[in-house]
Amino acid sequence: MTAVIARPRVAIDPRLRARRVAVRRDEGRRRLRRLLVALGVVTVAGLGVAVVYSPLLAVNRVEVRGAGPTRSTVLAAAHLGAGAPILFVDAGGTAAAVRRLPAVASAHVERSFPHTVTLTVTLRVPVAWAPAGPTGAALVDAHGVVISRTPTAPVGLPELVGLAKVPAPGARVAPLGPAALAAALAPALPGRVVGVTLGPTGLTVGVIAGPQLRFGDATALATKARAAAALLGALLRPASYVDVSVPDAPVAG
């Protein structure tokens, strides 16, 4: 039988024991602080989520400016539902979605905390029309974009004559020169232009009770339009045509 020899206990210096106790207490305090900080972060995050999704920061008013009769279409494209968190409204994405509407030239979305979203729209302005079907018409803006289709041709806008194809709303007609010329003529000869044609010799225009207007190529259209209006007003005798392809030297014949 083996004898068990008891080892004598080594006395620990009281100062070392006190140091060990202090270290354990510090570790406990640090763990408590970390726990309290974690609980605080979770609490603040929970409160933040609750506030974001609460009626305190919810969309309850959508203002639409400049949309006119397209207001309901613009709202549908924007997808700005009442009660949605205003912080999560994607202003850029919403504006881009509205700009995809054929009738919209530009759109801007602004959030006004805590409850309002303002959508400002600039609509395209028709400057001419092109035949679309037996009696229908496609309204076209200054950039050649087809805005919409109507069952009948509008009164007071010139026709774009001879287009090979009229695309769907949102696309552009080709060529663009006739639409650009129609826009340039609107302030110079309001209500007098009946048709714009691009032929082998360039752009020509028919006007009410007046000669054919010849514009040549699609450059300096605003200058040529002013020259044509000035020469029409200065004619002393009837003419069959007015040529402003060189706007500084217009010719009537």
> Cα 218 from chain centroid?
28
Cross-strand pairs, 148? 139
189, 232 Cβ separation under 8 angstroms: yes
Q: Tens place of pLDDT for every residue, the chain, 253 residues?
A: 555 555 555 556 677 666 766 667 767 667 656 655 555 554 344 434 443 444 556 788 889 999 999 999 999 999 987 778 888 889 999 999 999 999 999 999 998 888 899 999 999 999 999 999 888 999 999 999 999 999 999 999 999 999 989 999 999 999 999 999 999 999 999 999 999 999 999 999 999 999 999 999 999 999 999 999 999 999 888 899 999 999 999 999 9
Task: Enumerate residues 6+ apart whose C-beta is below 8 A from 191.
Answer: 156, 208
Phi, psi of 200 (to 5 degrees): -60, -30
- Ramachandran assignment for 202, one of left (phi > 0), alpha (psi -120 to 50 degrees), beta (any other): left
Phi, psi of 221 (to 5 degrees): -65, -40
Q: Which CATH architecture has domain 58-123?
A: Roll (3.10)
- Where exactly are the structural domains of the chain? 58-123, 128-252
Whether the model clears a pTM of 0.85, i.e. scores above it, the answer is no
243, 251 Cβ separation under 8 angstroms: yes
